[in-house]
Structure 1
Amino acid sequence: MPDHAIPPPRWYALPLLALGGAGFAAAWMLLALALNRQCSWLAPVAALDMALLLKLARWPAANSRRALAVAACAAVIGAANMLIAAGQIGQSFGLRPWESALKMGPSYAWLLAGMANGGIDLLFYAAALLVAWWAAR
């Protein structure tokens, strides 16, 4: 395929991916806090969402699209887990999740996420990374 046939990446693809990831992490946090569960089954859905956003933005179908989809999915999983932990801790102190997240350090968030996530949750997260890799082809 000639070089001129490959479209250049669109300028709005990365901001769209960041906005979509932040929105998905916020929605995941709200559902998890409402159900008082981790809702790790949302991780593969997040993977499909990140791959779809890159396809909608017409990011070239190459290894870069797969890498971006996997990285965005991992970021959504990490952000959602931190927000869920911040929301649960913040409830004890009368703080909103985003207020609590600003006061909570990364090591404390890692500790709480490690205690909250079990084997099934980790399987969902691993499956989500594979789904992101596959769906971004």
Structure 2
Amino acid sequence: MDHPTPAAKPRAGLAIALLLLGSVGFAALWVLLALYADRLLGWMAVPAAADAALLLRLGGMRRGWRRAVCAIAATAMTVVLANWGIAAGQIGAAMGLLPWESLLKLGLDYAWTLAQLANGGVELAWTAAALAVAAWLGR
């Protein structure tokens, strides 16, 4: 079993910080592209997974199951944030709000309902593929 050295702990912290920042940034890009295209763009989950794995590697996190789990969690977070942002942008536009103005006004129940209605089999398949890619590239 690998035991982290004292120098490895700050690198893991850097990797997590990069991962959080990168996931939020990727979700913002996804939202902007989806609102422009007027589609969910479920395929964007796969590049999000690759981005998460890359950020963990660049951050210096050691190989192993922890890095894979972090990549999977970041990919899932990016998918959730993107879906939230896309729903908020679509609903906010109908009310004359900008996407970032409607983000906090969208309630959890309403966002969940919209996500269930909007995400069909294709989007769910892209999400499942992205989680598998995150596990594979993150290991």
With the length of structure 1 as denominator, give the TM-score of the two structures.
Answer: 0.94
Judge conservation of contact 2:15–2:57 (CA < 8 Å) in 1. no
- The one-letter amino acid paired with 1:40 is G
Tell me by how many angstroms 1:14 deviates. 1.2
Tell me by how many angstroms 1:19 deviates. 0.6
> Are the structure 2 counterparts of residues 4 and 132 from structure 1 closer, same or farther at C-alpha, using a change threshold of 3 Å?
closer
Task: Note the residue ranges of structure 2 that are not aligned, 5 or more in a row.
Answer: none
Identity fraction in percent:
50
2:56 to 51, 54, 57: 54
2:33 to 24, 31, 34: 31
Higher mean alpha-carbon deviation, 71-80 vs 12-21, is at: 12-21
Q: How many residues align?
A: 137
2:68 to 52, 62, 66: 66
Is 2:27 aligned against 1:8? no
- Secondary structure of 1:127's aligned partner: helix
Tell me by how many angstroms 1:59 deviates. 0.1
Judge conservation of contact 1:7–1:60 (CA < 8 Å) in 2. no
Distance in 2, Cα, partners of 1:72 & 1:83: 16
Provide the residue aligned with 1:127 in structure 2.
129
- The one-letter amino acid paired with 1:122 is L
> Are the structure 2 counterparts of residues 121 and 94 from structure 1 closer, same or farther at C-alpha, using a change threshold of 3 Å?
same
Provide the residue aligned with 2:23 in structure 1.
21
Task: Note the residue ranges of structure 1 that are not aligned, 5 or more in a row.
Answer: none
- Secondary structure of 2:97's aligned partner: coil
Please, what is the CA RMSD of the aligned residues? 1.7
> Are the structure 2 counterparts of residues 57 and 2 from structure 1 closer, same or farther at C-alpha, using a change threshold of 3 Å?
closer
Tell me by how many angstroms 1:6 deviates. 9.7
Judge conservation of contact 1:44–1:131 (CA < 8 Å) in 2. yes
- The one-letter amino acid paired with 1:91 is A
> Are the structure 2 counterparts of residues 8 and 35 from structure 1 closer, same or farther at C-alpha, using a change threshold of 3 Å?
same
Provide the residue aligned with 2:91 in structure 1.
89
Judge conservation of contact 2:19–2:74 (CA < 8 Å) in 1. yes
With the length of structure 2 as denominator, give the TM-score of the two structures.
Answer: 0.93
